[in-house]
Amino acid sequence: MDRTTPTTSTSTIELVHLLASPLHRYEGRPADGALPFDGEELHERIELRAGLGIVGDRHYGHRAHVDAAVTVLAMETLDELADRFDLAPAEVVRRARRNVLTRGLDVDALRGATIRLDTGEGEVVLRATRPANPCAWMDAELAPGAFRALRGRGGMRCAVVEGGALRLGQATCTITP
């Protein structure tokens, strides 16, 4: 019988966007538009707590979101979307509403994996629990066809296993299947 050991890989990636929003802005029908918000949603640094999520985020501490408190998406996906629909990259980032955007990590291939991220303040450990499927809001907020373009590429929902802080910039990323 052939037994294989899970392969752990370590690389340097970039965290290019961190979002923590106290308001769920996509409520109701997409045709009615997103709820307005004039506070700060994009951050240079976020705090994460095991079993709770991102401090200050709308899903923080909600039992229904314990295993899906953090959404992680590859920035390369949004770059492709911006090019395809001739959109400003900054608008795509803001309207996609994912908590952590990475560059250099195939996020959609990580289901079930343990993700260890260290931006210099200690390691944060996430467990990728399920795909972060796009919704019809993407057609209303980005461009008609964006919802379909993001199917199967919407990132991962993750549980926070070990909390800490993440900062924008380089991160050491260790993946264990």
Residue appearing with tokens 């803001």: 94
- pLDDT tens digits along 121-177: 999 999 999 999 888 878 888 889 988 999 999 999 999 999 999 999 999 999 999
Model-level pTM? 0.88
In a 3-state reduction of DSSP, which class is residue 124?
Answer: strand
- Give tens-digit pLDDT for 20-69: 987 666 677 767 776 676 668 889 999 999 999 999 998 899 888 889 99
The domain segmentation of the chain, as residue ranges, is 46-176
46-176 under CATH 3.30.1180.10, yes or no: no
